[in-house]
Chain A
Amino acid sequence: MSEKITVASDWMCGCAGCHMSLLDIDERIVPLVQHVTLTSTPITDLKHPSKDGVTVGILEGGVNNSSNEEVAKMFRERAKILIALGDCAVFGGVPTMRNTCGIQEALRRAYVESESTVNGQIPQHEDIAVMQDTRAVDQVVPVDIYLPGCPPSADAIWYVLTELLAGRMPELKGKYLDWH
């Protein structure tokens, strides 16, 4: 094996379930890391892909605030191939339900009106990312590979990664295509 392929991942407005599904490839992670270097992930020390760039960037979750938007743009800039992983990254997913009521109403429901809250208030600070309506990743930056699923199965994720390792663009059909 000459040079390992570099892969970075991150999660945005998602539930981390797609990353759990990625870990569900189980023992196949051993051959994977023989061919691949995971440069940065949300569960490793390094959180962001380096400026030198990576071959594959994997994004879980949609874009629902200014911080997510930054991450999506950074990944697009630094990754040759960008994968939208899971229904939230591909379609916007469950968080898009929030769009129907608007940001203010969603914040009020979560921080003030929720049943377990006493004297709640909506957090406000200049360091906090600015909320936006939830969007799919490709509504912010172009995406190369769409891998839908809630979450996508470990087999589908494994199929996409191994196809890329073999130098092919994966074509998702049949058992690998499952939005559920």
Chain B
Amino acid sequence: MAIVNVTVNGQKIQAQPGQTVLQAAREAGVFIPTLCDHPAVTPFGGCRMCLVEIEKQRNLQPACTYPVTEGMVVSTDTPRVTEARKFVLELLFSERVHYCMYCAMSGSEENTQCELQRLGYRYGLTHWQFPPQTAKRWPVDASRKYFFMDHSRCILCRRCIRACDEIVANHTLGVRERGSRTMVIADDDVPFGESTCVSCGTCLQVCPTGALIDRRSAYMGGECDLTHTRTTCMACPVGCGIDALTRGNQLVRVNGDWDAANGGLLCIHGRFETVEPQPARVTAPMLRKAGELAEVSWDAAMTAIAGRLRVAGPVAGLASPRATIEELSVFRALFAGPLASDQVGLIYGEMPPALGKSAGLADLKDADLIVVVNGRPLDDQKVVGYVVRRTAEAGAKLIVVSDEPTTLDPYSQQCFGLTDLCKVDAEVTAARFPVVLYANGLPASVYGDLRSLSPKTRFMPLYQGINTAGAAKIGLGERPVKGNALFVLAADEIPNGHSLPEAGFTVVQAAYRTKWTDVADVVLPAQTWAEKHGHVVNIEGRELPVVACVQPPAGVQADTVTLAALAERMGQGAKSNV
């Protein structure tokens, strides 16, 4: 491809055709300040912070929208540019009420989470030339559960609107009126909480100021106070890359990882619900005495479990798909070895059969045909649903095959029932890059038909349970189990309709006190997703790291250590019997 030669501040750089001045300058390590620009959305040229001087241009030009041309000479740091940018900042500060001292995002130049304030410092604004109208009341919309909008902090950069349109394809946000009366609104100017907003929080993540504020992490610390940990979201099998923000051993906020396959995108479960208060923790082993669970020592609990399991007869095992591969492996070994039982499986999480080449999120974005067979990705694997919708809007053909209406139907070109599945054949053959998403529980003939589609087809299974695919890899799947005693590896699962089978003696290894621990005879502590290291396999078939971002409470050890200790205890028993 041709190279475009550009001079930036006297430095000769080689840019790609079609790049903007901003992109070319950034690649060459030249800083140009921006506010409305965000790498994940289309350039907009609204804030004028990135004004630069371009030779042969009468006026200063916005670098974020100006394409590079051969021989272009750009200056990003002249007195004229600095003066203009300062003036832009003065105007931005004069428009609404940007009183930093009571804004959650405010801080020193290193600590601030506000891009407007950081630029104010950078350009040495000690005061405002044009004081804002302090008496004017700007609305605050707090109708959403997890984050609110304070219009007084809004600079109308429209990052939120573009994120809602381009990243989530939800099209909730827009503006009303023009000029200084412009307001960001939801739908037809209804409260955000009553709008079509799905609370994925992408707008919150891209907001450069304190206009969108996360309720839970507001005033919980600035950039220097927070620790970032890149790990994997454990809310659903999509396994999005997240940036977990912690302070003082507390999870404060979850952001989407821009560099992961999900490209910064998360859903309400991953971004907000995981940070919400959870049920009471199990912090010590507990033994049921006279109907009540009472805390006991590890030794007493292990002795009780080993003693009962040895005499109980067949022992069944159930694991949550929230457990990591490492945990599931030790769990499996416990049953294969000391417990000598084949009655072991997942509490829930059925994997549909593999049909061919697997598709990742990146493949979904490249697809020109997406066929969804009986799945509900917009409800159950939301980020996949958003990406499907986005790709369909970008021009890919979307076909929904289902006997029931689904939430994706309005975005599809064709919807039909399973009996008409054969219609898909020709479409797939004609497509350049077809991707088929399919659910479990379908008749074997349907899977057979899908398997016989053109070999260029890529497949993505739709199922429940974050590590269901990881469990399947080591031979664990959803199944009924039978035994006189039951051992449950519950991890940090909060049961949602799944009851445990009855058994004469039940051990539950769980992070939280739930209806499962209520029926247990012995309860062992477990770590939460935020406390453990390990791996899970996601919907794309990729093995992803789970990285601890907080320390577990005192007395809570790794689940693998607990399981290994139990295995050893059982093994000793076996030996002593010989």
Does B bind A?
yes
Residues of chain A at the chain B interface (Cβ within 8 Å) = 84, 87, 90-94, 96-97, 99-102, 133-136, 138-139, 143, 146-148, 150, 171-175, 177-180
Given A135-B131, A175-B108, A178-B109, 4 additional A-B pairs, CB 8 A: A91-B128, A97-B99, A175-B109, A180-B106
| The stretch of B74-82, B132-140, B475-483 that contacts the partner chain | B132-140
Most chain B CB within 10 A, of A134, A138, A147, A177, is at A177
Within 8 A of A (CB), among B98-136: 99-102, 106-109, 111-112, 117, 120-121, 124, 126-128, 131, 134-136
Of A96, A148, A174, A175, which one neighbours B127 at CB under 8 angstroms? A148
Of A100, A143, A175, which one neighbours B134 at CB under 8 angstroms? A100
Bound form: Cα–Cα A136–B94 in Å: 13
Residues of A within 8 A of B131 (CB): 91-92, 135-136, 139
Residues of B within 8 A of A96 (CB): 97, 99, 134
Q: List 7 A-B contacts (CB under 8 A).
A: A91-B128, A96-B99, A97-B102, A138-B127, A172-B126, A179-B100, A179-B121
Asked whether, in the complex, the Cβ of B134 is within 8 Å of the Cβ of A93, the reply is no
Residues of A within 8 A of B126 (CB): 90, 146-148, 172, 177
Q: Which 8 A-B pairs have the closest CB atoms?
A: A146-B126, A146-B127, A99-B134, A150-B101, A96-B134, A99-B135, A178-B108, A179-B100
Bound form: Cα–Cα A26–B121 in Å: 27
Asked whether, in the complex, the Cβ of B107 is within 8 Å of the Cβ of A136, the reply is no
Asked whether, in the complex, the Cβ of B137 is within 8 Å of the Cβ of A180, the reply is no
Residues of B within 8 A of A150 (CB): 101
Residues of B within 8 A of A174 (CB): 109
Residues of B within 8 A of A146 (CB): 126-127
Given A84-B127, A91-B128, A171-B124, A100-B136 contact (CB < 8 Å): yes
Asked whether, in the complex, the Cβ of B135 is within 8 Å of the Cβ of A179, the reply is no
Asked whether, in the complex, the Cβ of A177 is within 8 Å of the Cβ of B101, the reply is no
Asked whether, in the complex, the Cβ of A100 is within 8 Å of the Cβ of B137, the reply is yes
Asked whether, in the complex, the Cβ of B127 is within 8 Å of the Cβ of A180, the reply is no
Asked whether, in the complex, the Cβ of A180 is within 8 Å of the Cβ of B111, the reply is yes
Bound form: Cα–Cα A172–B97 in Å: 23
Asked whether, in the complex, the Cβ of B99 is within 8 Å of the Cβ of A94, the reply is yes
Asked whether, in the complex, the Cβ of A134 is within 8 Å of the Cβ of B121, the reply is no
Residue of A nearest to B108 (CB): A178
Of B97, B111, B134, which one neighbours A133 at CB under 8 angstroms? B134
Bound form: Cα–Cα A84–B127 in Å: 10
Distance of B330 from chain A, by nearest CB (Å): 49
Residue of A nearest to B102 (CB): A94
Distance of B200 from chain A, by nearest CB (Å): 30
Residues of B within 8 A of A136 (CB): 127-128, 131
Most chain B CB within 10 A, of A97, A135, A179, is at A179
Given A179-B100, A180-B111, A100-B124 contact (CB < 8 Å): no
Bound form: Cα–Cα A101–B134 in Å: 10
Residues of A within 8 A of B135 (CB): 99-100, 102, 133
Distance of B136 from chain A, by nearest CB (Å): 7
Bound form: Cα–Cα A99–B135 in Å: 5
Most chain A CB within 10 A, of B102, B127, B131, is at B127
Asked whether, in the complex, the Cβ of B101 is within 8 Å of the Cβ of A87, the reply is yes
Distance of B92 from chain A, by nearest CB (Å): 14
Bound form: Cα–Cα A139–B127 in Å: 12
Distance of A159 from chain B, by nearest CB (Å): 13
Bound form: Cα–Cα A77–B120 in Å: 31
Residues of A within 8 A of B128 (CB): 91, 136
Asked whether, in the complex, the Cβ of A177 is within 8 Å of the Cβ of B127, the reply is no
Of A87, A90, A99, A177, which one neighbours B121 at CB under 8 angstroms? A177
Bound form: Cα–Cα A146–B120 in Å: 14
Residue of A nearest to B129 (CB): A138
Residues of A within 8 A of B109 (CB): 174-175, 177-178
Distance of A85 from chain B, by nearest CB (Å): 12
Asked whether, in the complex, the Cβ of A173 is within 8 Å of the Cβ of B124, the reply is yes
Most chain A CB within 10 A, of B102, B134, B137, is at B134
Bound form: Cα–Cα A101–B106 in Å: 24
Residue of A nearest to B106 (CB): A180
Residues of A within 8 A of B106 (CB): 179-180
Q: What 0/1 pattern do residues 42 to 80 of B give for CB contact below 8 A with A?
A: 000000000000000000000000000000000000000
Within 8 A of A (CB), among B323-368: none
Residues of A within 8 A of B134 (CB): 92, 96, 99-100, 133-135
Residues of A within 8 A of B97 (CB): 96
Bound form: Cα–Cα A132–B578 in Å: 93
Bound form: Cα–Cα A172–B343 in Å: 72
Given A99-B135, A180-B108, A94-B124 contact (CB < 8 Å): no
Asked whether, in the complex, the Cβ of A172 is within 8 Å of the Cβ of B124, the reply is yes
Bound form: Cα–Cα A13–B107 in Å: 23
Distance of B104 from chain A, by nearest CB (Å): 11
Residue of A nearest to B111 (CB): A180
Distance of A172 from chain B, by nearest CB (Å): 5
Residues of B within 8 A of A101 (CB): 137
Within 8 A of A (CB), among B206-254: none
Bound form: Cα–Cα A81–B126 in Å: 16
Most chain A CB within 10 A, of B131, B136, B137, is at B131
Distance of A73 from chain B, by nearest CB (Å): 18
Bound form: Cα–Cα A102–B135 in Å: 7
Asked whether, in the complex, the Cβ of A94 is within 8 Å of the Cβ of B101, the reply is yes
Bound form: Cα–Cα A87–B127 in Å: 9
Bound form: Cα–Cα A102–B136 in Å: 10
Residues of B within 8 A of A148 (CB): 126-127
Asked whether, in the complex, the Cβ of B99 is within 8 Å of the Cβ of A180, the reply is no
Of B107, B108, B121, B127, which one neighbours A91 at CB under 8 angstroms? B127
